Structure 1
Amino acid sequence: MQKQTAMEKLPDDLKIEILLHLPVKSLLRFKSVSKSWLSLISDPSFANLHFQRSSQHTLRFPYRIHQQIRSIDLNTSLHDDSATIKLDSPINYDVILTSCRGFLLLLNKEEDDLLLWNPSTGEHKHIPLPLPWVLSELYGFCYDESTHDYLIVLASSLSLLSPSVLGFYVFSVRTNSWEKLALDHQVLHVTPSPGVGSVVNGAIHWLVWYPPCRVKKILAFDIRTRSLLQQLVLEPDDVDLGGLCYLRVFGGSLALIDITDHEIKVWMMKEYGVKSSWTKLMSVSSLRGMCFSYCKPICLTKNGQLVTLQRNLELLKWSEGGELLEVRDYDDYQNFWLLAAAIVYTETLLPLS
């Protein structure tokens, strides 16, 4: 009889606590150790616990160098190559749109095709667009807790075919089908384009232009009711939405990043839906003639540091006080993946269904 290892002799609760600290790649390998390990790691409750723990510690940014897809944990030093991993990525997808619960939503613009992909486990699902030649301006990817279903939301006010295809479309992973919603929306276009939604408080949020005065506002789509929120989420008074602005979710709260040529200001809505709760989190000033016109905010690390992407060529990390802490220059590489939203993801064992 094969002798039990010291790990196998431990009680299950202690085993779980140890395994929760391991990356997904190691856990997938450890499934083959024994039937008991396979059962433990495959348990949906373990996957949920691991995702909750991982989301507190890892924040991975995917990028492509030459023909390799890699991701770096932005909670570590930008120069810590041990925090960078290679990914076995699907081919022919040229834009990463957004992420949800460890899955990435990718777009193949030439084939009118979307892909849901878990870069940690390799699980993926191809999703044809609801109709060919629909020019989607709003993209959203979320998880509906009430139905335990992943949803993709697209909206368009442009078409090369017919006005009848305009509107909101929702794809349900659970039913594997698209549904067109009868929603009245008057969005002219979004900026930056394509408009990738930020999910918080059970809603997807976009910055959009409204006619007739081309006023920029925050549009919100309720995930549970699959409807547009009638009451707009109001922006802070000191932000000019006519400039370059991004919506993000920082620390579970809606964040608005206002970017000018020489300054980045980060605002956070401390209490959802309450305009007076917008709080200025930090202000970053450009250095040595640096221009922020081509800057994209990526995330806020667990230490409160702002990470930005400059001209799709270099990563920068800023302190809460606006001090430049680190720069990682990729100027010698010529093949960055096109990043619509400069997104991050968390490693996960969670399945799509």
Structure 2
Amino acid sequence: MESLSGIIPSNVMVEILACLPARSLIRFRCVSKSWRSLLSEPFFVTMWLNRSGTSLLVVPLEWENRDQCSLVFENVSIGMKNLNLPVGDKWISVSVIGSSRDGSLICLTGLSYTRRRASKQAIILWSPFTGEVKALGNKGCVHCHRWPVCTESLIQGYNSACCNQYLVHGFGYELNARDYKVVRITYSRGVVREDDSPIRPWLVEVYSLRSDTWKSLGRPSFTWTVRGNSRAFVNGSAHWLAAPTADAPYNSIVAFDMKEEAFGEVIELPRLENLLQFSLNPRGKATLSVSHGSLALIAFGIWNREECGIWVMKEYGVVESWTKQHHIVLPIGSTVRAALGLTGRGKMLLRMVDEKLMCCDVEDMQISEVGIQGRGAESSFDVIDLGGGDPTLRNQAGLDSLLTILNHK
């Protein structure tokens, strides 16, 4: 920076650097101490995030493209590019758990084949900017007499009624410790292997990236049934929709506090009278998301999947603060299979029955294609919003720097 200051004014240099991709900025940190200091300054990070546009990581879950994903920028002038997932040939399926807010660290879960009717599941920490990969294995195997029919359900963290266990994950950032953490909940039938035996929460474990260790929290005291990887990291906690039993509708939200490494009090859903026309059955694909830093609930109509409601919890943990933010009626014929979440720019990502990925503006209800489509009835998508376009968002882990992951080295 000093050697160039006589040629290019400092303010112009900062403007130029703020337009560069993250991969280049990581290299430029090695130029000098002054450049390293500049590229770590909060004002520069904010400027860079504003310029880069909000990006979405899209992972198609299908056999032929299990190592492919796309990075889509909501700033249409940037467009879309393809990335290779760091999974190799041994993984039969992958799913996203979450990411740092800047996209410098992405957490995936992968399912690998081991032997007939058995598979192993691992957590993959991946920095797409540096190419660094860290795989966190899981002890034991998942046994299923219908494998690989239930592969999609296993990788997305719910039981298809044929397996002896399934795993649920959450990912988040503990600000005080400057530490990324992964929580893993194992649901199991225990030593009883009969298909009709109940499946219960069996073990809770937490991984710390800073210490590179797993900690067992033992068998949990709760009996809630939660499904899927956490879609909402808010207020320092990962959140899941919960049901009292495996076959019951969702009736609450459970949260795991990354700092305390414990489950907090159950969070109530909006009052029942406000949800009468909407389905909270797990098959109805209700999901949690984040809207401008607040917890959000997305639910579809009981009889009409073209109708959707979005509620936002204005004051965290206060049931009275649930507010119905949007009531969306999609165009006739827009048959939705599931909502994948909300983006930082007020759009809802939808997976359609024809396996197209669609984007719906929640304000004007305009729906458009993202440009990505599955290749068969068994394909599906996982999507995470990297939130790069709005520095006021606090819905993803890693609030302080786009280079947080490197600071752990």
In structure 2, give the amino acid aligned to 1:118: S
Paired with 1:174 and 1:290, the residues of 2 have a C-alpha distance of 45
Considering only aligned residues, what root-mean-square deviation do their CA atoms show, in Å? 3.5
Q: Is residue 288 of structure 2 the alignment partner of residue 253 of structure 1?
A: no
Shift of 1:252: 0.7
Q: How far, CA to CA, are the matches of 2:373 and 2:235 in structure 1? A: 38
Alignment correspondent of 2:317: 273
1:177 Cα offset (Å): 1.4
1:107 to 96, 106, 109: 109
Cα displacement (A) at 1:276: 1.8
Give the letter aligned to residue 221 of structure 2. Answer: D
Paired residues for 1:1-353 under 5 Å: 5=4, 9-11=8-10, 15-28=13-26, 30=28, 35-36=31-32, 39-40=33-34, 42-43=36-37, 46=40, 52-53=46-47, 55=49, 57-63=53-59, 66=65, 68-73=68-73, 75-77=74-76, 82-92=78-88, 93=91, 94-101=93-100, 102=103, 103-110=105-112, 111-133=120-142, 135-159=165-189, 166-182=202-218, 183-188=220-225, 190=226, 193-211=227-245, 214=248, 216=250, 217-230=252-265, 232-237=266-271, 238-239=274-275, 240-242=279-281, 243-260=284-301, 261-292=305-336, 294-302=337-345, 304-311=346-353, 313-331=355-373, 333=375, 339=381, 341-346=382-387, 348-351=402-405, 353=408
- Is the 8 Å Cα contact of residues 357 and 369 (structure 2) preserved in structure 1? yes
| Aligned equivalents of 1:181, 1:124: Cα separation in 2 | 26
Inter-CA distance 295–174: structure 2 relative to 1 (3 Å threshold): same
- Counterpart-to-counterpart distance in 1, 2:249 and 2:377: 36
* Structure 1 residues 44 and 207: CA distance shift in structure 2, 3 A: farther
> In 2 relative to 1, CA 213–96 (structure 1 residues): closer, same or farther, beyond 3 Å?
closer
- Distance change >3 Å, CA 301–CA 204, structure 1 → 2: closer
TM-score, scaled to structure 2: 0.70
Deviation at 1:143, TM superposition (A): 0.8
CA contact (8 A) 1:206 1:218 kept: yes
What is the CA distance between 1:327 and its match in structure 2? 2.0
> What does the per-residue CA deviation read over 1:77-97, in whole Å, with 9 as the maximum and x for residues that have no partner?
4xx6x4212324312452222
Return the offset for 1:114: 1.4
Distance in 1, Cα, partners of 2:190 & 2:229: 19
The Cα shift of 1:125 comes to: 1.1
**Sequence identity (%):** 22
1:9-60 CA-partner distances (Å, limit 9, x unpaired)? 433x66445423422134246567xx33xx4554496176565455553222
Q: Where does the alignment leave 5 or more consecutive residues of structure 1 unmatched?
A: none
Measured after TM superposition, the shift of residue 151 of structure 1 is: 0.7
Q: TM-score, normalised by structure 1?
A: 0.80
2:255 and 2:263 in contact (8 A); partners too: yes
